[in-house]
Amino acid sequence: MRAVTITPGVPNSLRLADDYPEPPIDEGAVLVEAISVGICGTDREIIDGHYGEAPAGASELVLGHESLGRVLEDPTGSLRPGDLVAGVVRHPDPMPCPNCAVGEWDMCRNGQYTEHGIKGLAGFARQRWRVDPEFAVRLEPALADVGTLLEPTSVVAKAWEHIERIGSRSVWLPETVLVTGAGPIGLLAALLACQRGLTVHVLDLATTGPKPDLVRALGAQYHSTGIAALGFAPDVVLECTGAPSLVLDVMCQAAPNGIVCLTGVSTGGRLIDFDAGALNRDLVLENNVVFGSVNANRRHWDIAASALARADREWLTSLISRRVPVEAYTEAYTPAPDDIKTVLDFA
Ligand SMILES: [Zn+2]
């Protein structure tokens, strides 16, 4: 069958295999026929050879961690043939650590977890794949065109859950949210903020293209003028760029008792002249919390599936800016202007 593969650590080894083996039964009881996979920056880093680990004993890694497919068979009876499903990306470490032992593999302590399409497990960019039922998340049938958005939505569902858990340390009635970065993660973080009835502001550099309209369509306000011109102190910040100077700016911008959630991965190595003492004073005197958030566990995937089911279908569709058939896979992995989310279609 067809599969999009790379050889980890070998830049530009991306290829479309025609003879990739069928998924072995020990991969999971649920056999799924792929509809599509979403593409993100992690895929490009893996293609560039910075990242990625093949399954034990294999030299190639199948890409794809943002999945969508249809169940072909599930002998356990949890799912029915034809059900629309996405596969959970991360699997618990074999030890397991205290977090993985209770299904919180997103909080794995020892780093020995595995991830489809990233670390030690074949990805979902292949015609058929298998997972066990607890790693298959069912989506409403109406989400067949946009269900690949479930994985990035699970990441922001976790971020929001942790924001709210931190907020519950005291009486907390947040009103305003600032999201920095209007890529897929930022836009989905803004969607979940709007679903909570909060006043949402999104900051991004773009002045043209689809981002300003996508933000306004949510009922949120779009800013491209820089953080200094915002004129308010947000109760919650979701930082989705990883841009070092912006990360520091949002920490200083948060309101008293404010919570800053960092979701962007920076490359590192760039030094900034910065008054760390002033930042420390601000954080202490305002009871602020800054925390990082990555990945998602099964609970977050289920929350994300409900959030997508409640969202405006047309808005979700417009997040998918390009659909590329699998034969043209190299185009799909090459960024294009005004890309929000690119999807590789197998069906
Ligand atoms: Zn673990």
Whole-number pLDDT of residue 189: 98
In 10 A of CB 192, how many CB atoms? Answer: 24
pTM: 0.97
- E runs forming strands in the chain: 3-6, 15-17, 30-39, 61-62, 66-73, 84-87, 90-91, 114-116, 120-121, 128-131, 136-139, 176-180, 199-203, 221-223, 236-239, 259-262, 289-292, 320-325, 341-345
Rounded CA-CA distance 260/251 in Å is 7
Angle ∠(37,38,43) on CA atoms, nearest 5: 100
Whole-number pLDDT of residue 204: 97
Whole-number pLDDT of residue 267: 83
Alpha carbon of 113 to ligand 1 centroid (Å):
6
Rg (CA), the chain: 20
| Cα–Cα separations (whole angstroms), residue 200 to 106, 217, 297 | 27, 12, 26
Whole-number pLDDT of residue 270: 85
In 10 A of CB 104, how many CB atoms? Answer: 18
Alpha carbon of 292 to ligand 1 centroid (Å):
17
Alpha carbon of 263 to ligand 1 centroid (Å):
20
Alpha carbon of 119 to ligand 1 centroid (Å):
14
The tens digit of pLDDT for each residue in 67-110 reads 999 999 999 999 999 999 999 999 999 999 999 999 999 999 99
Alpha carbon of 94 to ligand 1 centroid (Å):
8
Alpha carbon of 41 to ligand 1 centroid (Å):
24
Alpha carbon of 9 to ligand 1 centroid (Å):
25
Alpha carbon of 92 to ligand 1 centroid (Å):
6
Alpha carbon of 185 to ligand 1 centroid (Å):
25
126: β partners: 3
Instruction: Chunk the chain into consecutive blocks of 10 residues (it has 347) and report each block's average pLDDT, rounded to whole numbers.
Output: 97 96 97 98 96 96 98 98 98 98 98 98 98 98 97 98 98 98 98 98 96 98 93 97 95 97 90 94 97 98 98 98 98 95 96
